[in-house]
Structure 1
Amino acid sequence: MIISEATTLLARTPDALGALLPGLPDEWLHRDDGEGTWSAYAIAGHLLHGDATNWLPRIRLIVEHGTGRPFAPFNRVAMLDWEREPVTALLDRFRVARAGSLRELASLGLTQDDLTRSGTHPEFGTVTLEQVLAAWVAHDLTHLAQIGEVLAGRYRDEVGPYRRYMPALERTAPAE
């Protein structure tokens, strides 16, 4: 893993969401594929919540304490209890949070050697800093794809025979 590549990808997520979600009607932003799935808006909130309570706090814990202290559990659905706000306000908060996360990550001065340091995940046990950082990037990309799928699902039936060539329309992305 190359740390600068990971941070470059992480820096792009707010812009990707900012290009896709603002200006969409509520019927698009808040639609989901049923029970156990999330809307594009909820996914954006999940990404924001993860920056505040998941990825960087866990990296910081590894750097400061290693395996001595377990990670706090992550509430994956906390954003579902938030008061709804305009999507632009949510995305502005995410943009600020992500910029702050990346500044703090840079301030840690991580080296390739640091990537082998480990911490204790409440479910998985011992994980390396490299695994946490790689999971943060993959998590962002997975949720960007999930947003695309839930938005595309709005036209699941309307695409007619074209659906044959759009496998994403056959899936419903579970909340993750």
Structure 2
Amino acid sequence: MQFDIEKAIPVLERTPQVIEALLNGLPDEWIYSNEGGDTWTPIDIVAHLIFGEKTDWIPRTQIILGEGSRQFVPFDMEGHIKERKGKTMSQLLDEFTILRKENLALLKGIDFSGEILDKTGIHPQLGRVTLRQLLAAWVVHDLTHIHQLSRVMAKQYEEAVGPWKQFMGVLGGKR
């Protein structure tokens, strides 16, 4: 499928609702558990999404569309730590919903006619990227973290499912 902003926006609009439906009101065991080691918990993932709303997608869109330097600021992969400090999951979910609505309002205010999606910015690791690629990556980033949330949560019952694990793709099974 070719990138189409009109088809991308509905996915971006639904992400906060999907994540809230999955996580809101769950016991701490679900939201503070990870896949082992330094992997992220669901609360880390939501804080990461908030940090991205503040520093990544729309700010980088504005850099591409603005005047002057097209160089992106490097993304802080630990920025989520300060975002989640002292906040409950419910507070983070509310903040994510508000930030996403604000960012989508800004996105919808852009005139996407002409060659605007071919404008470029400079990513610190990837080099030259187009607005089209940035916006498509935003959609896939959301879907990646929805998948990650499912995987992290499923991991908590990896032992409990016993022999059914072989059928559970989210746990590395065949399906």
Same fold (TM over 0.5): yes
Q: What residue identity is the alignment partner of 2:92?
A: L
User: Equivalent residue of 2:76, what SS?
Assistant: coil
> TM-score w.r.t. structure 1 length?
0.92
Residue in 1 that maps onto 2:60: 58
How far apart, CA to CA, are the structure 2 residues paired with 1:13 and 1:87? 16
User: Equivalent residue of 1:155, what SS?
Assistant: coil
Residue in 2 that maps onto 1:28: 30
Residue in 1 that maps onto 2:163: 161
Q: Which runs of 4+ in 1 moved over 3 A?
A: none
| Superposed counterparts of 1:100-119, under 5 Å | 100-111=102-113, 113-119=115-121
Aligned positions, number: 170
Residue in 2 that maps onto 1:80: 81
CA displacement, residues 125-157 of structure 1 (integer Å, 9 cap, x when unaligned):
100000000000000000000000000111000
Percent of matched pairs sharing the same residue? 39
Q: What's the CA shift for 1:111?
A: 2.6
Partner residue of 1:44 out of 46, 51, 59: 46
Q: Relative contact order (alpha carbons < 8 A, sep ≥ 6): 1 or 2 greater?
A: 1
Q: What's the CA shift for 1:112?
A: 5.6
CA displacement, residues 95-139 of structure 1 (integer Å, 9 cap, x when unaligned):
000000000111122236211111100111100000000000000
Residue in 1 that maps onto 2:70: 69
Q: What's the CA shift for 1:36?
A: 3.0
**Structure 1, 145-154 or 106-115: larger mean CA deviation:** 106-115
CA displacement, residues 3-60 of structure 1 (integer Å, 9 cap, x when unaligned):
0111111010000011010111111101011223101111011111101100110011
Q: What residue identity is the alignment partner of 2:77?
A: R
User: Equivalent residue of 1:10, what SS?
Assistant: helix
How far apart, CA to CA, are the structure 2 residues paired with 1:111 and 1:149? 39
Question: For structure 2, which runs of at least 5 residues remain unmatched after alignment?
Answer: none
Q: Which has the higher helix share?
A: 1
> TM-score w.r.t. structure 2 length?
0.92
Q: What residue identity is the alignment partner of 1:78?
A: G
